[in-house]
Amino acid sequence: MTNHNDEKQTSYELITIEQPKKQKKKPGGWFRPFVSGIAGGTLALGVYVLTPYAHHSESSTANDSSSTKTEAVSQNDTSTNTSNTTAVQTSNSSSTISNMVENVSPAIVGITNYQTQSQTTTDFGDTNTPYDESQQNQNNSSQEEETGTGSGVIFKKSGSKAYVLTNNHVIEGATKLTVSLHNGKTVEGKLVGSDSLTDLAVVEISSSNVTKVAELGDSSSLRAGETVIAIGNPLGEDLSRTVTQGIVSGVDRTVSMETSAGESSVNVIQTDAAINPGNSGGPLLTTDGKVVGITSMKISETGVEGIGFALPINDVKPIAEQLLSKGKIERPYIGISMLDLEQVPDAYQKETLGLTSSQLDKGVYVKEVASGSPAAKAGLKAEDVITAINGEKVTTGSELRHELYTNAKVGDTVKITLVRNGKEETKQVTLTESESKQVSS
């Protein structure tokens, strides 16, 4: 289980930023996110010109006419050789990364999200005659408009089809998707499946112009300090396949993000490689060109720099496989609506729920139990306080979902620890498949 302490220690607010230019606020629900800035959308930002950090001079011949210079070189022969060796190593390293980028770039794509926008036009008839309401005609029409762009990576090719991994927030709400390829061609994309809680989606395209499929690596082997490369389309196709370099700043981070299906707690890789709006869905790569993450979000706060996040590829693989085979993610369903206990007034916790001082703010408050649901059948009731699942403590709804969706599956029977009227009880809940509208649990 990932460590949830990061959530408590971070005070930033998470906003799930959609790709569309005309962003709509998502309902906050009960949750208070803390990281800000999904790296999606097309925002107007400054463009920085990156220059190489090391340059190796080709000139290595000393001026023979200067005996002083010759003596200096002779006396410092060891240090000079060391310096030259370092410069050569730096040059070779840069060349290796350049070769890798050239090799993998054909597997990187841009994705454009189009959404239907309705328009109403009014015809007032003959403008030379007095206005008459009966002459007014309203014409309703709709057209597809570009609402945002993102990135993606081709991870599978099968016969006449190829498949692209990207973020859910890149494609969410789209009535049409187009995919721009390395060779400059733009093809139609078809959504295979998406999952808002993990912010992942798979898009299908024709394989006729696909010449490269990215190799998926092993994110579990990543270590802090390891060099990683991000490739994507920041700010749209004008800066397509922009390459940024950084390091792995941390592994096994847990962050909460607000999604269209509610708050979700996800495991992420932290990196300082530059991630900007439009990079969403692009790959995070090792220096040998293997995809170890899908860039998804970053902290965007005044005074904060270089804190971006990618979904680990080992977590992405099973989601992508299920989206390919079923078009959706099957998740276990309990059947409750809930609230973080810390959002319930202390007086209510003590007087109505019967909690002691040591029990305050530690758990998930059950607001309602759906009739006929697994929770109802197991005997859970409104105003119960859930404190653990299978012995793993949960203090927020995000943690409860993470534990449920990560370590349980449909058909499992889980042990729910709860507090009712100040006394601890356990209930055995047999999980069923979640329904599309039943996202509360």
State the catalytic residues.
Answer: 169, 199, 280
Residue 439 CB neighbours (<10 A): 18
Q: Report H helices in 125-178.
A: 168-171
Give CA–CA dist 321/328, Å, rounded.
10
Residue 276: name the closest of 13, 25, 44 by CA: 44
Do residues 385 and 366 make contact, with C-beta atoms less than 8 angstroms apart? yes
Q: Which residues of 380-405 are buried (b: 16+ CB within 10 A; e: fewer)?
A: beebbbbbbbeeeebbbbbbbbbbbb
Do residues 295 and 166 make contact, with C-beta atoms less than 8 angstroms apart? no
Q: How far is CA 153 from the centre of its chain?
A: 14
Cα–Cα distances in Å, from 305 out to 151, 272, 300, 301? 22, 8, 8, 8
Tell me which residue has tokens 């507090």: 419
Q: Which residues of 66-91 are buried (b: 16+ CB within 10 A; e: fewer)?
A: eeeeeeeeeeeeeeeeeeeeeeeeee
One-letter amino acid of 120:
T
Angle between helices 67-75 and 77-104 (to 10 degrees): 80
Classify residue 209 by burial, with Cβ atoms within 10 Å: 0-12, 13-18, 19+: middle
- The answer for residues whose C-beta is within 8 angstroms of residue 170's C-beta and 6 or more apart is 19, 40, 111, 113, 148, 150, 151, 152, 201, 280, 281
> Six-digit token pair at 398?
């995000």
One-letter amino acid of 144:
E
